[in-house]
Amino acid sequence: MNYQALLDEIYTEVQPLFGQGHVADYIPELAKIDGRKFGIALETVEGECFKIGDATERFSIQSISKVFNLALGIRIVGDQVWERVGVEPSGNPFNSLVQLEYEKGIPRNPFINAGALVITDILLDHLDHPNEEMLAFVEKLRCLDINYNEEVAQSEIQTGYTNLALANFMKAYQNINHGVEQVLDAYSHQCSIEMSCVGLAKSFLFLANGGIVPKTGERIITAIQAKRINAIMLTCGFYDEAGAFAYLVGLPGKSGVGGGIVAVIPKKLAIAVWSPELNERGNSIRGIRALELFATRTGMSVF
Protein backbone atom coordinates (compact mmCIF):
# COMPACT_ATOMS: atom_id res chain seq x y z
CA MET A 1 0.00 0.00 0.00
CA ASN A 2 1.39 3.39 -1.01
CA TYR A 3 0.30 5.29 2.09
CA GLN A 4 2.08 8.51 1.12
CA ALA A 5 0.27 8.77 -2.22
CA LEU A 6 -3.01 8.05 -0.47
CA LEU A 7 -2.46 10.73 2.20
CA ASP A 8 -1.52 13.24 -0.54
CA GLU A 9 -4.70 12.41 -2.45
CA ILE A 10 -6.96 12.63 0.62
CA TYR A 11 -5.35 15.88 1.77
CA THR A 12 -6.08 17.55 -1.57
CA GLU A 13 -9.58 16.18 -1.78
CA VAL A 14 -10.61 17.22 1.72
CA GLN A 15 -9.10 20.74 1.64
CA PRO A 16 -12.23 22.35 0.08
CA LEU A 17 -14.35 21.45 3.13
CA PHE A 18 -12.71 24.40 4.86
CA GLY A 19 -15.23 27.04 5.94
CA GLN A 20 -18.08 24.68 6.81
CA GLY A 21 -17.51 24.53 10.55
CA HIS A 22 -16.38 26.58 13.52
CA VAL A 23 -13.29 26.55 15.67
CA ALA A 24 -14.19 25.80 19.33
CA ASP A 25 -14.51 29.06 21.24
CA TYR A 26 -16.19 28.08 24.52
CA ILE A 27 -12.66 27.74 25.90
CA PRO A 28 -11.48 31.28 25.02
CA GLU A 29 -7.86 30.31 24.38
CA LEU A 30 -8.90 27.73 21.75
CA ALA A 31 -10.67 30.40 19.68
CA LYS A 32 -7.29 31.84 18.71
CA ILE A 33 -6.33 28.89 16.53
CA ASP A 34 -6.20 29.25 12.74
CA GLY A 35 -9.05 27.15 11.34
CA ARG A 36 -7.15 26.50 8.10
CA LYS A 37 -4.61 24.24 9.80
CA PHE A 38 -4.72 20.73 8.40
CA GLY A 39 -2.38 17.81 8.89
CA ILE A 40 -2.43 14.02 8.69
CA ALA A 41 0.10 11.50 10.02
CA LEU A 42 0.15 7.74 10.00
CA GLU A 43 2.52 5.31 11.66
CA THR A 44 2.52 1.55 11.17
CA VAL A 45 3.33 -1.00 13.87
CA GLU A 46 6.50 -1.70 11.86
CA GLY A 47 7.56 1.91 12.47
CA GLU A 48 7.01 3.46 9.05
CA CYS A 49 5.74 7.03 9.28
CA PHE A 50 3.91 9.07 6.61
CA LYS A 51 2.66 12.64 6.91
CA ILE A 52 1.30 15.64 5.08
CA GLY A 53 0.39 19.28 5.81
CA ASP A 54 0.66 20.59 9.38
CA ALA A 55 1.40 17.11 10.72
CA THR A 56 4.33 18.13 12.89
CA GLU A 57 2.73 21.21 14.46
CA ARG A 58 1.53 20.73 18.02
CA PHE A 59 -2.10 21.49 18.88
CA SER A 60 -4.43 21.12 21.85
CA ILE A 61 -5.44 17.47 22.05
CA GLN A 62 -8.38 18.18 24.42
CA SER A 63 -10.60 15.09 24.75
CA ILE A 64 -8.12 12.82 22.98
CA SER A 65 -6.36 12.94 26.36
CA LYS A 66 -9.27 10.92 27.79
CA VAL A 67 -7.71 7.85 26.15
CA PHE A 68 -4.38 8.40 27.95
CA ASN A 69 -6.31 9.08 31.15
CA LEU A 70 -8.20 5.79 30.84
CA ALA A 71 -5.13 3.78 29.80
CA LEU A 72 -3.19 5.06 32.80
CA GLY A 73 -6.16 4.44 35.11
CA ILE A 74 -6.51 0.86 33.85
CA ARG A 75 -2.76 0.33 34.09
CA ILE A 76 -2.83 1.34 37.74
CA VAL A 77 -6.11 -0.06 39.11
CA GLY A 78 -7.29 -2.46 36.37
CA ASP A 79 -10.99 -3.35 36.29
CA GLN A 80 -11.70 -1.31 39.42
CA VAL A 81 -12.31 1.70 37.16
CA TRP A 82 -15.56 0.04 36.04
CA GLU A 83 -16.96 0.26 39.56
CA ARG A 84 -17.30 4.01 39.06
CA VAL A 85 -17.88 4.51 35.32
CA GLY A 86 -19.80 2.59 32.64
CA VAL A 87 -19.01 1.40 29.11
CA GLU A 88 -22.19 2.40 27.27
CA PRO A 89 -22.45 5.09 24.60
CA SER A 90 -24.10 8.20 26.00
CA GLY A 91 -25.85 9.46 22.88
CA ASN A 92 -25.47 12.89 24.47
CA PRO A 93 -23.08 15.83 24.10
CA PHE A 94 -19.67 15.39 25.77
CA ASN A 95 -20.49 17.79 28.61
CA SER A 96 -24.11 16.78 29.18
CA LEU A 97 -25.50 16.83 32.72
CA VAL A 98 -28.91 15.22 32.22
CA GLN A 99 -27.95 11.54 32.17
CA LEU A 100 -25.94 11.85 35.36
CA GLU A 101 -29.02 12.66 37.36
CA TYR A 102 -30.97 9.65 36.10
CA GLU A 103 -27.98 7.40 36.61
CA LYS A 104 -27.09 8.63 40.08
CA GLY A 105 -23.70 10.14 39.44
CA ILE A 106 -22.23 7.17 37.49
CA PRO A 107 -21.08 8.45 34.06
CA ARG A 108 -22.00 6.38 31.03
CA ASN A 109 -18.43 5.99 29.82
CA PRO A 110 -14.87 7.33 30.36
CA PHE A 111 -14.83 9.41 27.15
CA ILE A 112 -17.47 11.95 28.11
CA ASN A 113 -16.34 14.72 30.45
CA ALA A 114 -18.05 13.25 33.52
CA GLY A 115 -16.36 9.89 32.96
CA ALA A 116 -12.94 11.44 32.47
CA LEU A 117 -13.39 13.47 35.65
CA VAL A 118 -14.03 10.24 37.59
CA ILE A 119 -10.96 8.54 36.08
CA THR A 120 -8.92 11.65 36.95
CA ASP A 121 -10.21 11.41 40.52
CA ILE A 122 -9.06 7.76 40.63
CA LEU A 123 -5.63 8.75 39.31
CA LEU A 124 -5.29 11.38 42.03
CA ASP A 125 -5.36 8.54 44.61
CA HIS A 126 -2.25 7.07 43.02
CA LEU A 127 -0.16 9.89 41.55
CA ASP A 128 1.89 12.22 43.72
CA HIS A 129 2.53 14.62 40.82
CA PRO A 130 -0.38 14.02 38.42
CA ASN A 131 0.67 16.52 35.74
CA GLU A 132 4.28 15.34 35.55
CA GLU A 133 3.29 11.68 35.70
CA MET A 134 0.73 12.03 32.92
CA LEU A 135 3.34 13.61 30.62
CA ALA A 136 5.83 10.89 31.54
CA PHE A 137 3.21 8.26 30.68
CA VAL A 138 2.60 9.70 27.20
CA GLU A 139 6.35 9.97 26.66
CA LYS A 140 6.60 6.28 27.48
CA LEU A 141 4.21 5.71 24.56
CA ARG A 142 6.97 7.13 22.33
CA CYS A 143 5.64 10.64 21.97
CA LEU A 144 8.44 13.00 22.90
CA ASP A 145 7.10 16.19 21.27
CA ILE A 146 4.61 17.01 23.99
CA ASN A 147 3.91 19.83 26.45
CA TYR A 148 1.16 21.42 28.52
CA ASN A 149 -0.22 24.73 27.33
CA GLU A 150 -0.69 26.61 30.58
CA GLU A 151 -2.79 29.38 28.94
CA VAL A 152 -5.25 26.80 27.58
CA ALA A 153 -5.38 24.99 30.93
CA GLN A 154 -6.04 28.22 32.86
CA SER A 155 -8.56 29.37 30.25
CA GLU A 156 -10.54 26.16 30.81
CA ILE A 157 -10.18 26.26 34.60
CA GLN A 158 -11.53 29.83 34.65
CA THR A 159 -14.51 29.15 32.37
CA GLY A 160 -15.23 25.46 32.99
CA TYR A 161 -18.52 26.00 34.82
CA THR A 162 -20.15 22.94 33.29
CA ASN A 163 -17.27 20.67 34.21
CA LEU A 164 -17.38 22.10 37.72
CA ALA A 165 -21.10 21.35 37.85
CA LEU A 166 -20.48 17.77 36.66
CA ALA A 167 -17.79 17.24 39.28
CA ASN A 168 -19.90 18.73 42.07
CA PHE A 169 -22.90 16.67 41.06
CA MET A 170 -20.87 13.46 41.12
CA LYS A 171 -19.35 14.45 44.45
CA ALA A 172 -22.86 14.62 45.86
CA TYR A 173 -23.16 10.96 44.85
CA GLN A 174 -19.74 10.12 46.38
CA ASN A 175 -18.29 9.39 42.95
CA ILE A 176 -15.65 12.14 43.28
CA ASN A 177 -13.43 11.83 46.35
CA HIS A 178 -10.95 14.68 45.93
CA GLY A 179 -11.73 18.37 45.96
CA VAL A 180 -13.54 19.40 42.76
CA GLU A 181 -10.97 22.17 42.10
CA GLN A 182 -8.13 19.66 42.32
CA VAL A 183 -9.89 17.27 39.92
CA LEU A 184 -10.68 20.10 37.50
CA ASP A 185 -7.11 21.31 37.59
CA ALA A 186 -5.68 17.89 36.69
CA TYR A 187 -8.38 17.27 34.05
CA SER A 188 -7.93 20.67 32.39
CA HIS A 189 -4.18 20.17 32.27
CA GLN A 190 -4.62 16.82 30.53
CA CYS A 191 -6.90 18.48 27.97
CA SER A 192 -4.35 21.25 27.41
CA ILE A 193 -1.64 18.79 26.34
CA GLU A 194 -0.22 19.77 22.95
CA MET A 195 0.94 17.11 20.52
CA SER A 196 1.36 16.86 16.77
CA CYS A 197 -0.39 14.40 14.45
CA VAL A 198 2.91 12.52 14.23
CA GLY A 199 3.15 12.32 18.02
CA LEU A 200 -0.46 11.22 18.36
CA ALA A 201 -0.12 8.47 15.76
CA LYS A 202 3.00 7.16 17.53
CA SER A 203 1.44 7.31 20.98
CA PHE A 204 -1.71 5.38 19.95
CA LEU A 205 0.22 2.53 18.36
CA PHE A 206 0.20 0.48 21.58
CA LEU A 207 -3.56 0.19 21.09
CA ALA A 208 -2.99 -1.22 17.59
CA ASN A 209 -0.43 -3.62 19.01
CA GLY A 210 -2.19 -5.48 21.83
CA GLY A 211 -1.05 -3.05 24.55
CA ILE A 212 2.67 -3.12 23.69
CA VAL A 213 4.61 -0.09 22.36
CA PRO A 214 6.03 -1.51 19.11
CA LYS A 215 9.22 0.55 19.17
CA THR A 216 10.33 -0.41 22.68
CA GLY A 217 8.49 -3.68 23.27
CA GLU A 218 7.20 -2.29 26.57
CA ARG A 219 3.85 -3.64 27.67
CA ILE A 220 1.61 -0.77 28.83
CA ILE A 221 -1.61 -2.74 29.42
CA THR A 222 -2.75 -6.29 28.66
CA ALA A 223 -4.05 -7.29 25.22
CA ILE A 224 -7.57 -7.64 26.64
CA GLN A 225 -7.39 -4.16 28.16
CA ALA A 226 -6.21 -2.74 24.83
CA LYS A 227 -9.10 -4.47 23.07
CA ARG A 228 -11.52 -2.96 25.58
CA ILE A 229 -10.18 0.56 25.14
CA ASN A 230 -10.52 0.16 21.36
CA ALA A 231 -14.09 -1.08 21.82
CA ILE A 232 -14.98 1.93 23.95
CA MET A 233 -13.36 4.25 21.40
CA LEU A 234 -15.51 2.70 18.70
CA THR A 235 -18.76 3.01 20.65
CA CYS A 236 -18.11 6.20 22.65
CA GLY A 237 -15.19 8.09 21.08
CA PHE A 238 -17.35 10.69 19.33
CA TYR A 239 -20.13 11.30 21.89
CA ASP A 240 -23.47 11.72 20.12
CA GLU A 241 -21.78 11.15 16.77
CA ALA A 242 -20.21 7.77 17.65
CA GLY A 243 -22.76 5.90 15.52
CA ALA A 244 -22.05 8.06 12.47
CA PHE A 245 -18.28 7.66 12.88
CA ALA A 246 -18.62 3.86 13.12
CA TYR A 247 -20.92 3.94 10.09
CA LEU A 248 -18.69 6.18 7.96
CA VAL A 249 -15.23 5.11 9.11
CA GLY A 250 -15.60 1.83 11.01
CA LEU A 251 -12.57 2.26 13.25
CA PRO A 252 -11.93 2.87 16.95
CA GLY A 253 -11.12 6.55 17.32
CA LYS A 254 -11.16 9.56 19.62
CA SER A 255 -11.76 13.21 18.87
CA GLY A 256 -11.08 16.45 20.72
CA VAL A 257 -12.44 19.97 20.38
CA GLY A 258 -8.97 21.15 19.36
CA GLY A 259 -9.84 19.52 16.00
CA GLY A 260 -7.77 16.36 16.37
CA ILE A 261 -8.92 12.81 15.72
CA VAL A 262 -6.87 9.63 16.17
CA ALA A 263 -8.01 6.27 14.80
CA VAL A 264 -6.54 2.82 15.28
CA ILE A 265 -6.43 -0.10 12.87
CA PRO A 266 -5.65 -3.07 15.12
CA LYS A 267 -2.45 -4.93 14.18
CA LYS A 268 -1.64 -2.37 11.49
CA LEU A 269 -1.40 1.33 12.25
CA ALA A 270 -2.59 4.49 13.96
CA ILE A 271 -3.59 7.59 12.01
CA ALA A 272 -4.09 11.14 13.31
CA VAL A 273 -5.75 14.09 11.60
CA TRP A 274 -5.90 17.71 12.75
CA SER A 275 -8.27 20.31 11.35
CA PRO A 276 -9.75 22.72 13.93
CA GLU A 277 -13.11 23.50 12.29
CA LEU A 278 -15.75 21.46 14.11
CA ASN A 279 -19.29 20.37 13.35
CA GLU A 280 -22.10 21.04 15.82
CA ARG A 281 -21.21 17.90 17.78
CA GLY A 282 -17.69 19.12 18.46
CA ASN A 283 -15.90 16.82 15.99
CA SER A 284 -13.51 17.89 13.21
CA ILE A 285 -15.28 18.09 9.85
CA ARG A 286 -12.23 17.55 7.65
CA GLY A 287 -10.89 15.01 10.15
CA ILE A 288 -13.94 12.76 9.85
CA ARG A 289 -14.02 13.06 6.07
CA ALA A 290 -10.29 12.31 5.74
CA LEU A 291 -10.65 9.18 7.87
CA GLU A 292 -13.74 8.09 5.96
CA LEU A 293 -11.80 8.33 2.69
CA PHE A 294 -8.82 6.53 4.22
CA ALA A 295 -10.92 3.62 5.49
CA THR A 296 -12.85 3.37 2.23
CA ARG A 297 -9.84 3.53 -0.10
CA THR A 298 -7.70 1.11 1.92
CA GLY A 299 -10.65 -1.19 2.61
CA MET A 300 -9.39 -1.24 6.21
CA SER A 301 -11.91 -1.18 9.01
CA VAL A 302 -12.73 -3.46 11.89
CA PHE A 303 -15.83 -4.69 10.06
Per the annotation, binding residues for substrate are: 63, 113, 156, 163, 187, 239, 257
Kindly state the smallest distance separating residue 219's Cβ from ligand GLN, in Å: 28
In the complex, the residues that contact ligand GLN under the rule CB under 6 A are: 62-63, 94-95, 113, 156, 163, 191, 256-257, 282
User: Least CB distance from residue 49 to ligand GLN, whole Å?
Assistant: 25
Q: How far is CA 28 from CA 54, 89, 158, 171, 188, in A?
A: 23, 28, 10, 27, 13
Nearest residue (CB) to ligand GLN, 45 versus 232: 232
CA pair distance 85, 160, nearest whole angstrom: 21
Q: Which is nearer to ligand GLN, 63 or 96 (CB)?
A: 63
φ and ψ at 272, to 5 degrees? -125, 140
What residues are annotated to the active site?
Answer: 63, 66, 187, 239, 257
Tell me whether residue 63 or residue 275 sits nearer to ligand GLN (CB atom).
Answer: 63
Q: What is the smallest separation between the CB atom of 205 and ligand GLN, expressed in angstroms? A: 22
Annotated binding-site ranges: 63, 113, 156, 163, 187, 239, 257
Minimum distance from CB of 216 to ligand GLN (Å)?
A: 28
User: Going edge to edge, which strands form the sheet with 49-53?
Assistant: 49-53, 39-44, 269-274, 260-265, 253-255
- In the bound state with ligand GLN, the residue whose beta carbon lies nearer, of 21 and 282, is 282
Rounded CA-CA distance 228/1 in Å is 28
DSSP 270: E
CA distance 122 to 120: 5
Helix H or strand E encompassing 279: none
**Residue number with the shortest CB distance to ligand GLN?**
63
Half-sphere exposure in the Cβ direction for 108 (13 Å, CA): 24
Nearer to ligand GLN, 63 or 225 (CB): 63
- CB contact set of 150 (below 8 Å; sequence gap of 6+): 192
Residue 239, C-beta contacts closer than 8 angstroms, at least 6 positions apart: 90, 92, 93, 94, 111, 112, 281, 282, 283
At closest approach, how far in Å is the CB of 182 from ligand GLN?
16
